[in-house]
Amino acid sequence: MLHPIDTRADRLKLALGEVTDHRGLFSDDAYSEIMQALAGKLTLLDSQPVEAVSRDETAEMPLVAAADADFSTDFEDESRFTPDQLSGIELPFVGRRLELNYLMRLWNDALNEQSLHVITLVGEAGVGKSRMLQEALAQASDRAFRVLAVRARGDHSAPAYSLVRSLVAAVCEMTDTMPISAAEERILRSVRQTYPARSADAASVVIGRLAGYPFADQPAIDLPPLETVALWLRGLAGGRALLLAVDNLHWLDAASLDLLDYLAVALVNKGGLVVATARPEFRQLRPEFLATCACYTEMSLGRLNKEAIRQLIAAVLKPIEGMHESFAEHISTRAAGNPGVAVDFLRSLFETGVFLPVDHGRWRTGL
């Protein structure tokens, strides 16, 4: 598994390193105060755990996670990978309509052909892979999918089969404070309801143990673990197509990647999709990933064009009173088409008090 190489502090340093020409944006004194405030924020961010943030993660707070898991398990809203607001201001989905339409066409093909299609959205950190996947999942309710959505985080101490743990936590609606005995009972009850074979109780133990629960009162179970997970997913989908969304393949543990390879073959005749995001370096980690998949598509996401970046920045700056008209253009130039850099810098201005709330969704500069 690749180790994370960037934190929010790293991203903010990148943004600050680029935003050096402040002429026409702030006075010299105001700019000096901004830099001092942001320097203090850098110290705070550097002290935070790496697992809390990643460049694609434009979150204001981490999602709920299962105990010792490497995945978020927010089962109340399982399709949200990244916020679509910044301090209450909507972050518009810009510059990706063509790619989204193409992705929707592939989804329709999977439904029509009644076979499993695998799609990977590949792009550099901050380019908007998670947002793209999130927008696509928002449309899944219009199609006959059983959606299972999970997100890998940049914690290189992730246990094996963290994918299974996250799926179990989401499907069984478990929390990190739940006692082990209660969690195991919930797994047993859930799998009994959906597993499409008589060995549901044994399958519950196999799936639970893959997810990290001991089931200490149960004997060894002689069921193939990967096949058991595949049957469980078939049962969960029922008569609907399966849609398994996995954000951040590059942070997924090796055993979970092996499971995805297996599922692509075992579920080949099951209508549905596995849609994932990955950074370009993932291919160095797993060059043979999904090599045997019959229906595999890799979509490359590049940086946004200037107009799209301007739209994104202008939407955030619109409610802010007294903002110099050249500020949006300045950030757009420095972001160089990477929306993650633009949003991170704008967030730093809210977090450090450069932008202060007024009322009714309006803001003002605090300097």
**pLDDT recorded at residue 330:** 84
**pLDDT recorded at residue 60:** 27
Helix axes 180-194, 225-237, angle to 10 degrees: 70
Alpha-carbon distance of 167 to 150, in angstroms, equals: 7
**pLDDT level of residue 154 (50, 70, 90 thresholds):** confident
Calculate mean pLDDT across residues 105-127.
89
Cβ pair 152, 162 in contact under 8 A: yes
Q: Residue 108 carries which side chain, given as an amino acid letter? A: N
Q: Which residue has the higher pLDDT, 361 or 6?
A: 361
pLDDT of residue 12 exceeding 60, the answer is: no
Q: What is the pLDDT of residues 316-327, one digit of tens each?
A: 999 888 777 678
Calculate mean pLDDT across residues 198-204.
94
**pLDDT recorded at residue 33:** 56
Helices assigned H by DSSP within the chain: 8-18, 28-46, 97-113, 129-138, 162-171, 180-194, 200-210, 225-237, 254-266, 282-285, 306-317, 327-335, 339-351
**pLDDT recorded at residue 353:** 83
Calculate mean pLDDT across residues 218-243.
93
The helix or strand, by DSSP H or E, that contains position 245, with its residue range, turns out to be strand 241-247
**pLDDT recorded at residue 307:** 93
The C-alpha torsion from 252 through 61 and 84 to 326, rounded to 10°, is: -110
pLDDT of residue 275 exceeding 70, the answer is: yes
Question: What percent of the chain has pLDDT above 90?
Answer: 44
Calculate mean pLDDT across residues 315-341.
85
Alpha-carbon distance of 15 to 87, in angstroms, equals: 19
Residue 68: both structure tokens together: 């010792």
pLDDT of residue 131 exceeding 70, the answer is: yes
Residues sharing a CB contact under 8 Å with residue 237, sequence separation 6 or more, in sequence order: 146, 270, 272
Q: Which of 36-40, 98-102, 162-166, 232-236 has the lowest mean pLDDT?
A: 36-40
**pLDDT recorded at residue 30:** 54
**pLDDT level of residue 141 (50, 70, 90 thresholds):** low
Calculate mean pLDDT across residues 200-206.
96
Check: pTM over 0.75? Answer yes or no.
Answer: yes
pLDDT of residue 77 exceeding 70, the answer is: no
- CA distances to 6, 130, 287 from 340, in Å: 12, 11, 27
pLDDT of residue 21 exceeding 60, the answer is: no
Residues sharing a CB contact under 8 Å with residue 234, sequence separation 6 or more, in sequence order: 196, 242, 267, 270
Beta pairing partners, 118: 274, 296
Alpha-carbon distance of 183 to 188, in angstroms, equals: 9
**pLDDT recorded at residue 139:** 80
**pLDDT level of residue 68 (50, 70, 90 thresholds):** very low
Calculate mean pLDDT across residues 249-265.
93
**pLDDT recorded at residue 109:** 85
Q: Which residue has the higher pLDDT, 1 or 329?
A: 329
Pick the most confident of 76-90, 99-113, 251-265: 251-265
Q: Which residue has the higher pLDDT, 220 or 16?
A: 220
Residue 160: both structure tokens together: 């094996």
Calculate mean pLDDT across residues 107-124.
88
Q: Which residue has the higher pLDDT, 54 or 28?
A: 28
Residues sharing a CB contact under 8 Å with residue 218, sequence separation 6 or more, in sequence order: 205
Could you tell me the domains of the chain? 1-354 (3.40.50.300)
**pLDDT level of residue 337 (50, 70, 90 thresholds):** very high
Alpha-carbon distance of 2 to 155, in angstroms, equals: 10
**pLDDT level of residue 312 (50, 70, 90 thresholds):** very high
Q: Which of 302, 360, 306, 307 is nearest to 336 (CA)?
A: 306
Sheet holding 363-365, edge to edge: 320-321, 363-365, 355-357
Average pLDDT score over the chain: 79
pLDDT of residue 61 exceeding 70, the answer is: no
Alpha-carbon distance of 238 to 317, in angstroms, equals: 46
Pick the most confident of 62-71, 146-155, 205-214, 333-342: 205-214
Q: Which residue has the tokens 């633009």?
A: 342
**pLDDT level of residue 86 (50, 70, 90 thresholds):** confident
